[in-house]
Each structure stands twice: as structure tokens, then as C-alpha cells.
Amino acid sequence: MSPQTWTISQLAKEFGITPRTIRFYEDQGIVSPERLGRNRVYHSRDRTRLKLALRGKRMGFQLSEILDLINMYDATRDNTSAQLQHYVDVLEKHRGTLEQQRNDLEQTLREIEYQLEHCRDLLKQQA
């Protein structure tokens, strides 16, 4: 492979994922490798899109959101201000969702702690 192309094995190794994961992203339209016989050849665009998809996954985005952001990245190369503003909006919304989930978890953990203390007190009374 030339410096500007990669095999599925090379990308899998680079990103610490399985070839099956890359094929899944291909099925979802995130990467579109060139076919040379039975071999897939990935170009810089595919590598970048895969990198963005994996970043989105780590950040907790749904696949549809990831695909939307990646497609927006491809479509708005001329207008980076609009692209960046859209990304800021998406990140702020996602952060709000995660903060609400964190608050919900903290409240649930406080309730569990209260119930644990209550149960331990009842056990002490029965001893």
C-alpha cells in the first residue's frame, strides 16, 4: 500500500479495533473503501472519517449523530464557521444530556446510601 492508502488490517491495528468494526462502519456508510479484487483499500478520507466516528463513539454520541456530523464535515469544507457552530451546538446539547445523567446518577447513589444506612440500622436493632 502506498503512504496514502491503508489495508483494513493496518487501520484496525492503528485504531485498536477489529476489522469487523471497520466493516460495520462501512455498512453504515461512514467509510467507503476502494475495492481491488477482494481487498479493501482505504484512503485518507476513509481514515479521517473512521477517526471521527471512533471519537464520536468515545464521546457517547449515537451512530446517527456521528454520521450526521461526519457528513456535515464533508459538506461544509468552505464554510468552517457554520460547521464549527453546528458542532458547538451539538456538543453543548450532548454535554447537557450527560450532566443531567450525572445528576440523576448522583441522586440515585444518595438514595442507595440512605437505604443502606437504614437497612444497617435495622440490622443493628435486631442483633
| pLDDT value at residue 76 | 58
Q: What is the DSSP letter of 30?
A: S
DSSP string, 54-122: HHHHHTT--HHHHHHHHHHHHHTSS-HHHHHHHHHHHHHHHHHHHHHHHHHHHHHHHHHHHHHHHHHHH
d(CA 53, CA 59): 10
d(CA 67, CA 62): 9
Look at residue 40 and tell me whether its pLDDT is greater than 80: yes
pLDDT tens per residue, range 82-124? 888 888 999 999 999 999 999 999 999 999 999 999 999 999 9
Look at residue 68 and tell me whether its pLDDT is greater than 90: no
What is the architecture, at CATH level 2, of domain 1-59? Orthogonal Bundle (1.10)
| pLDDT value at residue 70 | 87
Q: What is the mean pLDDT of the chain?
A: 92
d(CA 86, CA 55): 17
2 sits in which H/E element: none
